Structure 1
Amino acid sequence: MSDPAKKLIPQLNLAGLIVFGLSYMAPAVVIATFGVIATISQGATPMAYVFATLAMLLTAMSYGKLARRFPASGSVYTYARRTIGSKLGFLAGWIILLDYLFLPMVAWLIIGLFFSAQFPFLPPWAWGLIVIVFCTAMNILGMKVADRFNRFLLIFVMAGILCLVGFGMAFAGGSGVSPAVAMWPESTTFSLVAAGAAVAAYSFLGFDAVSTLSEEVKEPRKNVPRGIVAVVLSGGIIFVVSAFVMQWAHPSLEFADIDTAGFEVLNVIGGPVFADLVNSTVLIGGLASCIAVQASGSRLLFVMGRDGVFPKKVFGHLSEKFRTPTFNLVFIALIGLAGQFLSMGDATSLINFGAFLAFTIANICVFVLWWKNRSSMPVAMHFFGYMLIPALGIVVDLYLLFHLSPLALLIGGVWLAIGVVYLAFLTRGFTRPAPGLDIETAESDDTLTTTVIAPAHTP
């Protein structure tokens, strides 16, 4: 019999799910990463985002199928555990952990850089420190800032994006530069665009977080798959259009600092006042995103600690006063501090290692799901959705994975190796089932009894 105290109330509709996904993705991140992607792709930033959008869309379709079949929290961890087995499920959870631990680090790095660009009286690392302390304090107190103001902040951020697009097109249109230069300059190649797409994919991180909210969504089997695809398409349109306007307005690859090149382009388009106003949308929207991603990472660590994957007394501890995982929040904050001295390119590549590997596993899960049910799922009827799309998704995700920086591949590979060794320890040399997060569906498809790993919610 399920425990009513663990039941979550379905209250999000499809629109709310899309708003959550876009808010988590922080659409203004396209401004923050513009310089890095423009440099890597040699001036083909919008095409890098087109490539990334198509790649993420393939995987989003696979996530949608899995979410329809398993409307429970845990995302790729749950899907791998249910379709392939507990051991690969554990490794999928370990890979997800790479994202959840380091995504706050990158978010803080970006917001520190852009605070310093607008308010240069403090260096980026000092702004980063202030933001880290602020976010950690808010999360320890349990204030669900991102959750309460998602709709308002998204409207505010989108207003800034619209200003960028409107003023940017007016500026670029009067510059005499051909729009074609912004799409595929002579200096670029397909390989360079793919390398840019490998970093551009960072902007999409968060679309898969929609699948972790299955238990709080009305009609999850229908709305979660639709929400996942809608978030990727909406985000892709925003990123491609914004990147096109910025590249058209500033086709040159000469920047004072590639990490804050987006701010430089804003100055070119509309001057200092315009740049400060639009940059404010990055800062405000980014601040809420920082709080949300730190909360999600601490929540995942808490669930894994509570279930014995990590030491329970430490990672499974909750503050008696605030009922929040204080140790986990401080632990993630310390990782964030160390990350303030990385370049944005290396930091975003590091995050994408875990994302691309997790996306690959999700696509594999779709194929395995078909294989296990092939007697009731004829090839002729399910070839496109359960074989062709996942196969393309695997190829594209692995292609982008191996276009990441050598540092990202090295650290990611070491992280994966540690996970394999730790799994061997927990399973006594792979002779026992892997420990798992407490993710089990109840008898009813609509009322689930699991503990959700919800990225924008503190416990």
Structure 2
Amino acid sequence: MPSLVFFGLAYMVPLTVWTTYGVVTTSTEGHLPAAYIVTTLAMLLTAYSYGRMVVAHPRAGSAYAYAKSAFGKAVGFIVGWVLLLDYIFLPMICYLVIGLYMHDYFPSIPMWMWIVGSVLLTTLLNIIGIRVIAGVNFIFIAAQFVFIAVFVVLSVRKLGESGVHSFTTPFLSSGMNVAAVFGGAAILALSFLGFDAVSTLSEETKNPTVRIPRAILLCTVLGGALYILESYIGHLIFPDYTLFSSVDVATVDVMKHVGGDLLNSFFTAAYVAGCFASALASQASVSRILFAMGRDGVLPKPIFGHLHPRFRTPVVPNIIVGALGLSALFISLEKASSMISFGALAAFTFVNLAVIKHYVIDKGKRSPGDLLRYALVPGLGVAFNAYLWTSLSGPTFAIGLTWLAVGVAYLLTLTRGFSRPVPDLSMDKADHEGNGDIEVAAQAAR
């Protein structure tokens, strides 16, 4: 159980709260901790539903796999297609954050150089194989927890010297904009990407129908508690969000206020290292997915379906993902975060719906207790996630729905108007030959 929980927390990245700290603090008018409470509640309901689906399908799974099993391959394909948007954007947001914080720390070096350099290095490492990274992964994760402990201790000491203006304002205040809080909560779904990764270990876990659901819930509870704690202390220590020197790197203002340049240096080192590890894993994962889709004929095989003869890694998918990562040069942090949350919230909604479909409709479990477990709780999960999903911005919906329309059109083309079987997206646990280095890359950053 401890290994499962640590795996999930490592995948979620404990410092991810600072990725959108300035963006969501500003959009919620100083109520980031309140927004995190809303998101955590939605994720807890979804974590419960993931657990129910693990019991129903005790194997490596995902939102795509559960949607496919409950609603058929066509719906599963579309859910997987929406998730693919997340996979594609995840490396890009890592490059964007690296560029933002490294440029802030070294202002004489243009931000674009950090982004381009990170893309080139990550792509190269993913092509030649990055087994060496696995050896230092523990350092990356441990450094984040050490930083959180140091940050909390220094913040408490600082608050003891300066006092606290209000302990409750970050959660509730007069004139609080509730709609803005829910809008911010929608963006924060990004912070919880990875709690469901525990479900991919079902086949390696003893008694998975008991341990995996508990581990998923524990990851969500502990992750949400960490995010709420970090954001709450940040708000107490630096309550006036209008004084941020930059919304995108507002964390720098908080760190310097708490511990000066030394703490800011510690944060930058730990955070950028974590982002780089995450970029390695996410680019490895999405290139592996694109390779599998090309190998299976879902994407053009001549482009996506081949491995390098020496390194046994998918070269063209890696280059394509790296090229897409260069969109960090011109996209805003808020837009990138919203796009990832668009796909995540849509997928989470279908996981909750899958529980209702599988247990209540297909299995006929309709006693009062069953309706509570398999209809009411996941139904609340549907409502929470759908409401957060609709709280995202108009431009985010325009891009997300365009991507969805492309997926529907592509599915119709592949199946010739459903006259042919719907193909699998190969988005579950890797069982393809030649993917050893890629799997090590994903495990390393996890």
State the TM-score, normalized to the length of structure 1.
0.90
- Specify the alignment match of 2:403 in structure 1: 415
State which of 209, 231, 245 in structure 2 corresponds to 1:243. Answer: 231
How do residues 80-119 of structure 1 correspond to structure 2 at under 5 angstroms? 80-119=67-106
- State the match for 1:259 in structure 2: 248
1:217 aligns with 2:205: yes
Contact 1:18 1:231 in 2 (8 A): yes
The offset of 1:374, in angstroms, is 3.2
In structure 2, the residue matched to 1:323 is: 312
Query: Contact 2:360–2:375 at 8 Å: present in 1 too?
Result: no
List gaps (5 residues or longer) in structure 2.
none
Q: Deviation at 1:199? A: 1.4
Name whichever of 23-32 and 54-63 sits farther off.
23-32
Question: 1:302 aligns to what SS in structure 2?
Answer: helix
CA deviation after TM superposition for structure 1 residue 33, in Å: 1.6
1:347 aligns with 2:336: yes
Which of 38, 52, 57 pairs up with 1:65?
A: 52
Distance 1:242 1:110 in 2: 18
Structure 1 counterpart of 2:196: 208
Q: How far off is 1:72 after superposition?
A: 3.0
Q: Does the CA contact (< 8 Å) of 2:289 and 2:427 recur in 1?
A: no
Find the residue that maps to 1:259 and give its secondary structure.
Answer: coil
Q: Which residue number corresponds to residue 119 of structure 2?
A: 132
Q: How does 1:247-396 map to 2 (within 5 A)?
A: 247-254=235-242, 255-375=244-364, 377-396=365-384
Moved more, 74-83 or 47-56: 74-83
> How much identity, in percent, do the aligned residues show?
39
Query: Please, which of 17, 33, 36 is the counterpart of residue 23 of structure 2?
Result: 36
Tell me the distance in 1 between the aligned counterparts of 2:131 and 2:223.
24
- What is the alpha-carbon distance in structure 2 between the residues aligned to residue 440 and residue 156 of structure 1? 30
Find 2:4's aligned residue among 4, 7, 17. Answer: 17
Amino acid at match of 1:263: V
1:426 corresponds in structure 2 to 414
Letter in 2 for 1:245: I
Alpha-carbon offset, residue 164 of structure 1: 1.3
CA distance in 1, matches of 2:137, 2:97: 20
Which residue, 218, 221, 226 being the options, matches 2:214?
226
Q: 1:439 to 1:340 in 2, by over 3 A?
A: closer
Q: Secondary structure at the match of 1:412?
A: helix
- What runs of 5+ residues in structure 1 fail to find an aligned partner? 1-13, 442-447
- Closer, same or farther in 2 for the Cα pair 1:440/1:193, shift >3 Å? closer
Secondary structure of 1:393's counterpart equals helix
| Structural RMSD (CA) | 2.2
Structure 2: which amino acid aligns with 1:112?
G
- Partners in 1 of 2:251 and 2:410 — Cα distance? 41
- What is the SS of the residue equivalent to 1:193? helix
What per-residue deviation string (whole Å, max 9, x for no partner) do you get for residues 52-95 of structure 1? 11111111111111122223334111111112101111111111
* Shift in Å, 1:51: 0.9
- CA change 1:411–1:245 in 2 (3 A) is same
SS of the aligned residue for 2:14 comes to coil
Cα distance in structure 2, aligned partners of 1:293 and 1:281:
18
Q: Does 1:170 align with 2:157?
A: yes
